[in-house]
Amino acid sequence: MENNIICIKNLIAGYDNDVILNNISFDIIKGEIFIVLGTSGCGKSTLLRHMIGLDKPISGSIIINDVDITACSDSEFQKTLKKIGVLFQGSALFGSMTVGENVALPIMEYSNLPKNVIDDLVKMKLYMVGLENYENHYPSEISGGMKKRAGLARALALNPEIVFLDEPSAGLDPVISAEIDELILYINQRIGTTMVIVTHELQSIFTLAKRVIMLDKRKKGIIAEGDPKFLKDKSDNPFVRQFFNREARA
């Protein structure tokens, strides 16, 4: 389909021949918020690492913006990387740089904006994520929630077409989690960024997503796909209903 920004086809992924995801296929539509969910150890992070090209699959293809990143040339891959931003689970801010410098780094590298203009842009980006006046703080001087937000500002620095977010609200208080969810929605609606989120925070899933896929450790693949509100009550699979209703296994 023309509207698909990411297509995963027959992906087999794993490490050292230990298959974690067996033959999965799905598409992500341009401009949507798409959530990958599942219990711990089901391969969510593995899938994310493959989608952003950090790991190579055993077989199958991952097509981002019509480029198969499993088979393309290095230069094509580099071009594709400029279209994506990633918020890592631990934020991955550079400890030797201030928050402002962290956000400015990709802008300085990949845009032709003059230094004083970049300073203004960094201020705007940090205001967007609620970190006004924190430009000169080092990552070690701010809290975990602030680091997440700074990481998000850095992922959004070049307004990429797709942003991958690994557990964006894990370990944050409910108010900040809700604020981050709101920010994700806002950026998705106003700027049109496609968001691919890996999470198992139910509240965020219901707030953000129209479409999710759920992975399962035993099946090593997708056990449910669709609207989380529908899956919560009407999924055929009792485990999926349990997951969405936060019930313990019988």
Return the residues of window 154-173 that contact another protein according to CB under 8 A: 158-159
Tally the residues of the chain. Answer: 250
E runs forming strands in 65-210: 67-68, 84-87, 162-166, 194-198
Q: How far is the CB of 149 from another protein (least distance, A)?
A: 13
Q: Which of 64, 40, 62, 49 is nearest to 14 (CA)?
A: 49
Q: How far is the CB of 192 from another protein (least distance, A)?
A: 8
User: Is 72 one of the binding residues for another protein (CB under 8 A)?
Assistant: no
Instruction: Rule CB under 8 A: choose which of 66, 76, 109, 132 binds another protein.
Output: 132
How far apart are alpha carbons 139 and 232 in whole angstroms?
A: 38
Candidate segments 49-57, 64-72, 131-139, 225-233, binder of another protein by CB under 8 A: 131-139
Return the residues of window 86-115 that contact another protein according to CB under 8 A: 94-96, 100, 111-114
Q: Residue 5: beta bridge partners?
A: none
Q: Which of 162, 53, 151 is nearest to 106 (CA)?
A: 151
Candidate segments 23-31, 49-57, 130-138, 167-175, binder of another protein by CB under 8 A: 130-138
Phi-psi region of 2 (alpha: psi -120 to 50; beta: other; left: phi over 0): alpha
User: Is 186 one of the binding residues for another protein (CB under 8 A)?
Assistant: yes
User: Is 145 one of the binding residues for another protein (CB under 8 A)?
Assistant: no
Residue closer to another protein by CB (options 25, 111) is 111
Using alpha carbons only, give the angle 138, 139, 144 rounded to the nearest 5 degrees. Answer: 145
How far apart are alpha carbons 198 and 45 in whole angstroms?
A: 7
User: Is 133 one of the binding residues for another protein (CB under 8 A)?
Assistant: yes
Q: Which of 137, 139, 138, 205 is nearest to 177 (CA)?
A: 205
Using alpha carbons only, give the angle 66, 69, 73 rounded to the nearest 5 degrees. Answer: 100
User: Is 128 one of the binding residues for another protein (CB under 8 A)?
Assistant: yes
User: Is 85 one of the binding residues for another protein (CB under 8 A)?
Assistant: no
Q: How far is the CB of 167 from another protein (least distance, A)?
A: 18
Q: How far is the CB of 50 from another protein (least distance, A)?
A: 26
Judged by the rule CB under 8 A, the positions of this chain that interact with another protein are 94-96, 100, 111-114, 117, 119-121, 123-125, 127-128, 132-133, 135-136, 138-140, 158-159, 186, 190-192
